[in-house]
Amino acid sequence: MRGELKLPNPLSDNVILCAQLLTRNHRDFIELTVEFYRAGEAHSGVLLVRRNLPNDRPARIAHALKCWADSRADMPATFEGVDFL
């Protein structure tokens, strides 16, 4: 992980991640997801924002999120993986 970013140990008993995460931080959160899977721990999923969706256009990110959710309409309500918007 990057030196300037200090994340809690997700495998610690003191850390509970309970909400799906929408982030641009691909490197760190893919690494954390791999750690969860290796440890046999469940988590509630990570949605990664592609770099072609600019931060200064939140409506585009919201639209991409809606399209992602709509594409999963026939799938289970839970999402425990990694996916990209």
Q: What is the pLDDT of residues 27-84, one digit of tens each?
A: 888 888 888 888 888 777 888 888 888 888 888 888 888 888 888 878 776 677 788 8
pTM: 0.62
Structure tokens at 62: 């919201």
Q: How far apart are CA 50 and CA 39, in angstroms?
A: 27
| Residues 36/12, Cβ–Cβ less than 8 Å | no
Identify which has the larger pLDDT, 22 or 13: 22
Render pLDDT for 19-42 as a digit per residue (tens, 0 to 9).
467 888 888 888 888 888 888 887
Q: Which long-range contacts (CB under 8 A, 24 or more apart) does 69-73 make?
A: none
Q: How far apart are CA 75 and CA 39, in angstroms?
A: 26
Whether 16 shows a pLDDT value over 60: the answer reads no
Structure tokens at 42: 């469940």
Q: Which of 1, 51, 2, 42 is nearest to 23 (CA)?
A: 51
Q: What is the mean pLDDT of residues 10-27?
A: 60
